[in-house]
Structure 1
């Protein structure tokens, strides 16, 4: 069963063209064959009119006529005489007749002169049929050549007619996941308007649902952050209170749990912010990616030092991108937080910021266990922490990073580092380079 609309149209129209062409060829062949026969009869009549005044002794070819036509003039005389075939011809009436001579059928035209003598102009029917078929086939050649031309034109017309639909599908495929702007009706065929209106209605409903979900997440995280902060302050106030050691251990566990909850709420708020509508990339400020990365590394150095992790730069080049400051900071911090969480004590985290063609590259390598190959396809899903979760993360960090990178028109790749003496994960973020960093770098970082 053919599921392609283009295939159905082409096969249907091709079948119509072939069927119509076959019927037309049959009628044209019959018509051309009959016309060729009539033309040959008229030739016999003209030759007979020329021979009215001449006389011939016995049957012989007519001089001046092509040999391939095999036309004969037969003098029959005033009375039946000669061979039996000539006597049989003499007994026929004047006019065009079908007879037999020398064992083969002929088309013969008999005429009587004014003096009473008779003659015949004859031609074998086999020669006539061959000539008529040849003329009919020559008549059919243009029609036969027209059929494949019509099929080619049909294919081109179908492809051109369906091009707006293909272009529409390509535009939808090329869109970002958060681009829910309506499809334009201008410049599209009117037959597609109901389809486009239906898609636009669906996009509007999806946008409304996403807005509701984003507001719910943001409102819930904001409302929960206040009581969690208050509980954290109360827990800190208990440090100065003389309580039993067992209660102090429980208090430490409580404070740790509240800290994780507070981190989760902050990640939810960050995710809600990244889901909010964003200005076009050309309208965003120009920022130094290397400067933003240096600031985040400086903030996390004390934490890395406490864990005995060597956090530093392997390569730093001035590169500029267009982005909101909070977006770059969130992206770099989440990547480094993940690396710090999985890197064991005495491990290394190497950061690189450099230019690669027309892209600004941020690369972070750690010496942690890496990510299971089966988890790489799902690692950017919200709340997915992998089959072997490490640390106390919420599973939102990489999802937020991926969202930021998509909105900035970049790409992110994860690659496990394997070797005999080490393991780890390499994260490579590529963002469109804004300008030559040696000429213009934002000083607002």
Structure 2
């Protein structure tokens, strides 16, 4: 089933609404007009009978009887073919009539059209309908006067029907002729009203892929402005997401190229050398390259998970002290191999908060790993936690080389590595820390170490995260 266009739907709905209003109003108006015409015609009949009564009283009944002799006075109908005088094509004379009857039931005066009307009965006073020849008549009968004279006036119903037909045409013809014209005008108005929507569709169909230019519609109606604003916001979010995906894909391709190439070289060396010692060295190098590759893939996947963390699950209650304990336990082998002294100062009571446990674990893990990589053998790293006023404060302090203040902002960029760092870091650690902090509305500050040299990383995390940041 083919869906109708919005323009067609609007036109039909408007026309249907107009028809639902105008047709009942027209019918009601027609009925009221017909009723008024009937009452006016009845009043005219009564008035003509009263007028005739006054004229007879003025002329005197004996004079009428004396002038007629023994027979009734019949008012003839003259005109074309003895059918009455033609007025605009109608023989109105033959459509009306009157009759005067004395107390004995003798017709004193009558029109030819009502000459055969039966004598009146005592109960005929007022209005009644009767059939006279081929026509139905509306008859009005006055009550007998003092001398017993009865006066009747009448009108043929086909005369009234002509009036009703004219009224019907007058009421229906404008509606029948006006509805198509109204439909054309409504169609024009709807088309003009939908022009901003058509312009918006055209702009969307011709929009270049990757364009950040906001949509703008000249003189956009108020109802369309929120749609345009929402579309512009959605375009911006989509472009930001696509940009992150493109950047992430390029970074992954760049960062995986070196360990893959190293692994391939070591495997080729294994094939090329026959000496067991050289083969063992190449195999050990390949193992280290694969381990480095696995570590790098793990870091990249962790960063990808953090990018979508706010959409992947709901925030849950957790204990920050327990998360720190699990991270220290996980890094125990690395801490032992690094020959660095780690001092931990954690509260003895839990630090409850809401958030993403995996993200907080990644934040602590990467802070400690970065500190261990930048501290020489025999150095010192401190981890401390405290809470006050609904904010948890995490400090990771080392006595390594430190980072000059002018370069501290740049270390949050992906794959950025400071000169002099040791270990197999790939410049992703602080990027992961920054994203995890964003998910918890946390603040990160890189400060001077109180140990004389080195770096102090301070993270302030609200204990209750109210809303996740937009990606």
Normalising by the smaller structure, the TM-score range is: 0.3 to 0.5
What is the TM-score of this pair, normalised by structure 1? 0.46
What is the TM-score of this pair, normalised by structure 2? 0.44
Higher relative contact order (CA 8 A, sep 6+): 1
Query: Which has the larger Rg?
Result: 2
